[in-house]
Amino acid sequence: MFQVPSDLINIGSLFEPDYHTINAEQPDLVIIGGRSAETYPEMSRLAPTVDVTFGSDFYGSLQANTRLLAEIFDKEAEVDAALADIQARIDSLSEQVQSGGDGLLLMVSGGSLSLLSPNNARAGRGALLYQVLGLPPTIDDVESTTHGEPVSFEFLLRYDPDWLFVIDRDAAIGTEAAQPAAAVLDNELMRQTSAWQNDRIVYLDAFNWYIITGAGLSSANDMLDEIEAAYSR
């Protein structure tokens, strides 16, 4: 079982905060977002609270939320420089992505496959690829759901994307004894795909792409690092 380090305070979970403990600590500020956004009404009664949940515009939300926090913590100059650097990286990388062939974002969980829709890149899962960098989707008629539309290996072979970007959900949430995504995809049908044969199956960092989803400067830069590395090999 996870043990909270002695210098930290356990204030509950994203979905079930320990309001009593939070109130006892009398924080100057509470920052929530995403999975904890629904706690805002109760949290704001305990302390000044800001919600940094991302909207439908991934990069716009990253900029707005980062600048909000910069103002609070008096870090405007540092944040302006960091955002300018990210913008420069996006401008450079998007040319490679948009001209480098089509692709799909695949999630693997429990040995099953699902596609994340390019038209509803929820919470950053795919928004950086599709919305910001402009990855041409192999198909765009994909059901917009939280965990994607279920697909088969035959489906992937039929549509044969140039690139396949993979999120291992089991790795992200720590599913015990789960088969790694790379092992799930290691089969005869996948070996026939263009992505496999051209070494264009990219296993993304599950924590960044499923849990954090680029919601801050560090994770956004880490995600850009992964895409840059994929298009440089």
Q: Considering the entire predicted model, what is its pTM? A: 0.88
Whole-Å CA distances, 136 to 80, 104, 116, 190: 30, 8, 14, 21
Domains of the chain: 1-53 (no CATH), 89-232 (3.40.50.1980)
The DSSP bridge pattern shows strands 149-151 and 103-109 to be unpaired
Q: How many residues does the chain have?
A: 233
Is 121 in contact with 127 (CB distance < 8 Å)? yes
- Closest CA relative to residue 68, chosen from 113, 116, 32, 107: 32
CB 92: neighbour CB atoms within 10 A?
11
Q: What is the pLDDT of residue 1?
A: 45
Which residues share a beta bridge with 106?
A: 115, 166
Q: What is the pLDDT of residue 123?
A: 47
As averages over each run of 10 residues, the pLDDT of the chain (233 residues) reads 71 91 95 90 96 87 94 97 97 96 95 85 72 93 70 96 96 90 97 98 93 85 96 90
